[in-house]
């Protein structure tokens, strides 16, 4: 963490492309490993168990998304606020944010885990889980949910480190989790023949080890994060809880709206059978391959926007937004060409089933729309999240998740009778909404009015 002081300083220099690339590269590599981490389950299960196992892991992954969106929303909000406090040189608020994130997110993780264990069967029915993969899906989902505490823990620790300007260590921790997951996946699903249950167990163990190592690093650098890990400081501090909830709740709603709308659309897709489930699941993983670049640029850009606004350097913000656009456009274009020219090879990594490969070809035009959305979203989210505009976040959430994804999917899939292609296109087209909202927000200049107040600490509020 000592070396990361240089990273924090770098975030305030004028060389925006260099800084954006240097800060986003570890984030990209972390996301790439996270993607590999998630894809390994499907590849190994698809090869050893077949299409039914692959479909079960696909639906299980959707259920796991359902219980992790809260962590993503509040972690992203915490990262933005920590970056802002660093820009303001408010180290006291950084420590209070660390304690608040720990208490809030781990408490929510336990609550969500208990709720899921009592309701997972209803969720599986709502998703139209095919009867032939019911047991596989149940095994994978229930096992994964026991690791939700580690998932939430890793997200909050990564948010703290990245907010402080350290994107290198989160990459190392996810690399550790990926290695463990790959090794145990092959062992559990292959020689031990545990099927999807083994894949889920490998995932949980990888997450647990990664979180424990991340927690150890945070404790060893407690002076730099201004948090002493004393029990009395693990509480929700009023000074930072207000901005955290103000920014985090819209982000959670945004994640929830997108997650629930995707699950709603997938519930219709799942009704088309295990082959359709497998193709859609593989397509989601392939989209995530470019999505990791988008997420890295969005996260790095958001941190830079937050620090630029915190330091009062308004003119730097449009530079960050436009550089974020062209940086993510290059790998998106390359990947689109590969997908268009070699679709059988890409889908063949997961399954050799002729029916799966035949249906996969029909998904290629949809994938092009998906990649376009992955290119246009990061600059918009960097601006919206970095400026801390909770209302705009809520607008994007409702427009993207509810009105467009569900509305377009039902219009194309049901009203116009496009069938499964209609649901695919509805989901893909809705991904362009954040760009339309973010670009309009940039042109309006309203982000300049997002005045950054310097909140009081708990002790200062007490004196007041």
Q: Could you report the per-residue pLDDT of 34-84, keeping only the tens digit for each?
A: 666 666 777 788 778 887 887 888 888 778 877 777 777 888 888 888 877
CA–CA separation, 115 vs 111, rounded Å?
A: 6
C-alpha span between 291 and 377 (Å, rounded): 10
Q: What are 394-429's pLDDT values in tens digits?
A: 788 778 777 788 888 889 988 988 988 898 898 888
Looking at the predicted structure, is the pLDDT value of residue 372 above 50? yes
Per the listing, tokens 């492309």 go with 17
Within 13 Å and on the Cβ side, how many CA atoms surround 107?
10
Q: pTM of the full predicted structure?
A: 0.67
Give the position of tokens 């990245």. Answer: 162
Tell me the C-alpha distance between 321 and 304, whole Å: 10
Which of 47-61, 110-124, 233-247 is the most confident on average?
Answer: 110-124
Separation of alpha carbons 347 and 44, rounded Å: 14
Q: What is the pLDDT of residues 327-337, one digit of tens each?
A: 888 878 887 88
User: Tokens at residue 304, please?
Assistant: 């830079």
Q: Phi/psi class of residue 51: alpha, beta or left (left: φ > 0; alpha: ψ in -120 to 50)?
A: alpha
Query: Up-side HSE of residue 76: CA atoms within 13 Å toward CB?
Result: 30
How many residues would you count in the chain?
Answer: 464
Rounded to a whole number of angstroms, the CA Rg of the chain reads 21
- Give me the pLDDT at residue 10, please: 47
> What was the pLDDT predicted at 244?
86
CA pseudo-torsion sign 69, 74, 80, 86: negative
pLDDT digits (tens, 9 = 90+) for 167-205: 778 778 878 888 888 889 889 988 888 888 888 888 889
- Under the banding of pLDDT at 50, 70 and 90, the label for residue 13 is very low
At residue 14, the pLDDT reads 52
Residue 32: band (very low, low, confident or very high) from pLDDT cuts 50, 70, 90: low
Determine the average pLDDT of the residues in 329-358.
Answer: 81
Q: 436 vs 22, which has greater pLDDT?
A: 436
Domain ranges of the chain: 4-449
């Amino acid at each position: 963490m000592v070396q990361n002081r240089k990273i924090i300083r770098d975030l305030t220099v004028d060389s925006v492309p260099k800084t954006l690339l240097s800060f986003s590269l570890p984030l990209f590599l972390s996301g790439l490993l996270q993607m590999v981490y998630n894809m390994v389950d499907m590849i190994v299960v698809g090869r050893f168990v077949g299409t039914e196992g692959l479909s079960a892991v696909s639906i299980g992954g959707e259920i796991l998304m359902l219980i992790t969106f809260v962590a993503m929303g509040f972690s992203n909000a915490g990262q933005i606020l920590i970056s802002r406090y660093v820009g303001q040189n408010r180290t006291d608020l950084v420590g209070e944010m660390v304690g608040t994130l720990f208490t809030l997110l781990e408490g929510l993780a336990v609550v969500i885990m208990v709720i899921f264990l009592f309701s997972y069967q209803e969720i599986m029915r709502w998703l139209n889980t095919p009867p032939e993969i019911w047991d596989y899906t149940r095994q994978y989902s229930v096992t994964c949910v026991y690791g939700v505490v580690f998932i939430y823990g890793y997200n909050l620790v990564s948010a703290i480190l990245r907010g402080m300007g350290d994107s290198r260590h989160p990459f190392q921790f996810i690399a550790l989790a990926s290695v463990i997951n790959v090794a145990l996946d092959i062992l559990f699903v292959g020689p031990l023949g545990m099927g999807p249950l083994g894949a889920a167990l490998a995932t949980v163990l990888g997450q647990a080890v990664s979180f424990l190592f991340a927690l150890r690093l945070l404790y060893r650098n407690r002076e730099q994060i201004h948090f002493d890990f004393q029990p009395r400081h693990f509480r929700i501090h009023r000074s930072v809880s207000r901005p955290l909830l103000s920014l985090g709740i819209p982000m959670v709603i945004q994640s929830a709206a997108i997650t629930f709308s995707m699950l709603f659309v997938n519930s219709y897709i799942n009704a088309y059978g295990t082959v359709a489930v497998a193709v859609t699941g593989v397509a989601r993983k392939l989209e995530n391959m470019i999505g990791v670049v988008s997420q890295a640029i969005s996260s790095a850009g958001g941190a830079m926007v937050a620090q630029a606004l915190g330091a009062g350097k308004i003119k730097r913000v449009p530079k960050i937004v436009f550089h974020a656009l062209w940086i993510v456009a290059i790998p998106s274009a390359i990947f689109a060409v590969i997908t268009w020219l070699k679709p059988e090879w890409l889908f063949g990594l997961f399954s050799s089933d002729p029916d799966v490969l035949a249906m996969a070809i029909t998904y290629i035009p949809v994938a092009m729309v998906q990649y376009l959305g992955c290119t246009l979203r990061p600059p918009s989210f960097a601006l919206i999240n970095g400026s801390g505009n909770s209302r705009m976040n809520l607008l994007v959430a409702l427009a993207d998740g509810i009105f467009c994804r569900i509305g377009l999917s039902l219009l194309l899939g049901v009203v116009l009778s496009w069938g499964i292609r209609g649901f695919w296109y509805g989901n893909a087209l809705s991904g362009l909404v954040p760009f339309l909202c973010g670009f309009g927000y940039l042109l309006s200049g309203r982000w300049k009015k997002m005045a950054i107040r310097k909140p009081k600490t708990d002790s200062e509020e007490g004196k007041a």
